[in-house]
DNA sequence: TTCTGAATAGTCAATATTGACTATTCAGAA
DNA sequence: TTCTGAATAGTCAATATTGACTATTCAGAA
């Protein structure tokens, strides 16, 4: 239901069409979810069927008509419920990158170390990118802080791991 | 491909049947992935078709026959490739729980705070559970350390967030 | 001996997700 | 004016994932 919450929350701020929603999520909400375009359209269709959102065909200039989505009162109810559910509960993060670590004994410590140093560089770069994002207003800033805090902790941990494979 | 790496890595240590693999993953590798039973069987079937693993029907006592899976030389090649790929690359973590935070302005700071305090309790409990796990040997310990380090950083951040909604 | 509920081992139809494609518009270069 | 490649807006068939179910065995209680 997180993806639904995500879409409802955006539509709550303003009516939008699928492409627009996907663009926005890709640009500003990648830390929360990885939502592909086709999935976006699928979810919008589903939520429209359930009456959470309404769709209106609209055309602008010469462009072909677009489905513009708007949240319904029922959708607002669902949003309120999902929001409280989300805020009050905790979903453990999955570290898919750790799978390889579990099998690190399959190759030499030296090679593991070399590979992890590459990983570290990518992480460092991501951290720098996160730090470069200008300060946002409101609660969006919390997400940005989260990303930075998380990556800093990850780097500390990864350095310990690299150390572990350096003997 | 992470799920495939996960399964290949386990089968590399010993031949197993689907139920066994799923049990093991559920018990010891939940931090890495959330792999449902049905998906496990689907992936095993797929990898068998691709020749990464072989299946043998076996029976034990009165029980109905089971498909026992074993890694093939080709599967070992794939494992080696996937392992190096995994170790050298970095996949940003997705914080699905942050979606709600992005929309926190939809409800009062007081209620947000109350809800987040509940979340904090669940997180704290998870941390305590993580700390209670006895020390493992080898690289599995790295994953446990990771979980603890991560949760500690998360708590620090969440406390700042709760602070933010306490004014 | 019979019953019951947990553990074992899986299947299947419904649902969700994705990569790769189509089709149009538009801005600016040639 | 024509061409080209990026941006816009979406679709669709193939693939992956899941919840809810079936079916058997087994240990111990009654």
Chain B residues close to A6, C-beta within 8 Å: 99
Given a cut of 90, whether residue B61 has pLDDT beyond it is: no
Least confident of A72-81, A101-110, A131-140, B48-57: A131-140
Shared domain check, B73 and B27 = yes
B115: closest CA among B94, A149, B107? B107
pLDDT at A140: 87
Whether A83 and A7 share a structural domain: yes
Residue A126 lies in a domain: yes
In this predicted structure, the answer to whether residue A136 has a pLDDT above a threshold of 90 is no
Q: Tell whether the model's pLDDT for residue B60 goes beyond 80.
A: no
Per-residue pLDDT tens over the stretch A52-94: 999 998 877 777 788 999 999 999 999 999 999 999 999 999 9
For residue B163, pLDDT over 80 is answered with yes
Domain range for A108 is: 98-164
Distance CA B112, CA B53 (A): 50
CB atoms under 10 Å from CB of A54, counted, come to: 17
On chain B, the residues whose CB falls within 8 A of the CB of A71 are none
Q: Average pLDDT over chain B, rounded to whole?
A: 94
Report yes or no on B114 lying in a domain. yes
Residues B76 and B18 in one domain: yes
Q: What is the DSSP letter of A70?
A: E
Tokens for A122, please give them.
């990518």
Q: Does B79 touch chain A (CB under 8 A)?
A: yes
Nucleotides of D under 7 A from a protein CB: 8-13, 16-20, 24-26
B126 and A12 within 8 Å at the Cβ level: the answer is no
Q: Which of residues 131-160 of A touch strand D (CB under 7 A)?
A: none
Q: Give yes or no: residues A58 and A121 share one domain.
A: no
Which pLDDT score, from 0 to 100, does residue B72 have? 96
Please state, in angstroms and rounded to a whole number, the distance separating the CA atoms of residues B44 and B35.
12
**Residue A66 distance to chain B (closest CA, Å):** 26
Q: Write the CATH number for B65.
A: 1.10.10.10
Of A49, A66, A88, which marks where a domain is finished? A88
Q: What is the pTM of this model?
A: 0.91
Buried/exposed code over B84-101 (b: 16+ C-beta within 10 A; e: otherwise): bebbbebebbbbbbbbbb
pLDDT, position A155: 98
**Total domains in the fold of chain A:** 2
- Answer whether residue B64 shows pLDDT above 90: no
Tell me phi and psi for residue A16, to 5 degrees. Answer: -150, 165
């Amino acid at each position: 239901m997180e993806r639904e919450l995500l879409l409802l929350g955006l539509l709550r701020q303003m009516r939008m069409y699928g492409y627009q929603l996907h663009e926005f999520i890709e640009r500003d909400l990648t830390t929360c979810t990885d939502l592909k375009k086709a999935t976006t359209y699928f979810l919008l269709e589903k939520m429209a069927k359930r009456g959470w959102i309404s769709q209106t065909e609209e055309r602008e200039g010469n462009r072909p008509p677009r489905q513009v989505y708007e949240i319904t009162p029922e959708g607002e109810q669902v949003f309120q419920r999902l929001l409280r559910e989300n805020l009050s509960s905790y979903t453990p993060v999955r570290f898919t990158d750790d799978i390889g670590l579990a099998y690190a004994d399959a190759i030499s410590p030296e090679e593991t170390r070399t590979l992890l140093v590459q990983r570290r560089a990518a992480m460092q770069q991501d951290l720098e990118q996160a730090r470069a994002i200008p300060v946002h207003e409101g609660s969006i800033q919390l997400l940005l802080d989260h990303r930075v805090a998380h990556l800093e902790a990850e780097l500390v941990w990864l350095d310990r791991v690299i150390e572990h494979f350096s003997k």
